[in-house]
Structure 1
């Protein structure tokens, strides 16, 4: 299994594409620049089986319309934020003078095991940065969205953010994973669980 990292847009929000040797793929957080995301997918001959959102803040869904409609696949997201992708006030875009609205085929995803035709992974409910934040756990990596960063944690001053919930999600969900597991955050460089357990200055 391989992972492609595309830091896109003014906030360099990471879009991730995971694919296997059979060229089957899934996309996480199509943030900005849908043409670049689609070009990467098509140049590698990948067949995408779904789009998964860590959460629905505007910088993580800026290219969702274009990518989802071009690929004609389902978008999966936490039910707590099911309507946020269509509401600029909820997804935060109106706060910055933008109006990000995505109208796509979507389904709620809940904590537990999840399978596509070619992938199996665990979904963790990791609220705090936002109420519907989800982290996606594979054999050797976790896509953590804006919950846990390389030497940082997600902000909690946005709509429905909650610092207590964020710390619980990190300590009781992410830090219960294999210490050697790689962490791919919503912004910035990858890290590992053990590195953040002992070196992250924001963990309280």
Structure 2
């Protein structure tokens, strides 16, 4: 399984393409749909689904273009199902980048062990940055797509709609239960590992 990172848009939000046998999952396509399409075409990947760690505008901006182009479903946690079409909830209304309004998701994300074709991963609820935040854990690859929950030497902000500092702490402690060598692919910035964060994160240590 291959993990590719594309940093998209003015906020440099990390979109992840997870590929296996020329099929691909798209995580958090925040902007620049044309760039994502170019990447997929260049690598001869056929995307089969779009999965969202949460519903903030900088993680969803290219959803409709990619969904329409590839005719693939979009999934988000049910607590944020109405965020895609609401600029207040997805926080685009408070940034000078224009309101982001996306069509409803095709389905809601089920927590627990999940299979989409040959892709197998575990979905856990990691609220705090937003109420419906989730992290995708690929145990076979020792890799986590954490959205804006945990960053290298940082944590998600909790001052936007639905943010909760205590919930974020609990969510990060869930991630800290994973083995030290697990790689963390964050919503912004470089990757890190569970071991590095439990020992050095200045905000929350194990």
- The corresponding residue for 1:159 is 161
Q: Which runs of 5+ in 1 are unaligned?
A: none
Length-normalised TM-score, structure 2: 0.96
Query: Partners in 1 of 2:35 and 2:128 — Cα distance?
Result: 30
After TM superposition, give the deviation of residue 84 of structure 1 in Å: 0.3
Provide Cα deviations, 1:10-41, integer angstroms capped at 9, x if missing partner: 11000000001x10110000011000001111
- Say yes or no: does 1:47 pair with 2:49: no
Q: Which runs of 5+ in 2 are unaligned?
A: none
Query: Contact 2:128–2:167 (CA<8 Å) still a contact in 1?
Result: yes
- The corresponding residue for 2:152 is 150
RMSD: 1.0
Query: Contact 1:121–1:138 (CA<8 Å) still a contact in 2?
Result: yes
Length-normalised TM-score, structure 1: 0.97
The count of residues paired between Structure 1 and Structure 2 equals 202
Query: Contact 1:4–1:16 (CA<8 Å) still a contact in 2?
Result: yes
After TM superposition, give the deviation of residue 96 of structure 1 in Å: 1.4
Query: Partners in 2 of 1:197 and 1:71 — Cα distance?
Result: 39
After TM superposition, give the deviation of residue 176 of structure 1 in Å: 1.1
Q: Secondary structure at the match of 1:161?
A: coil
Query: Partners in 2 of 1:89 and 1:104 — Cα distance?
Result: 15
Alignment of 1:1-204 (within 5 A): 1-20=1-20, 22-97=21-96, 98-139=98-139, 140-171=142-173, 173-203=174-204
After TM superposition, give the deviation of residue 60 of structure 1 in Å: 0.3
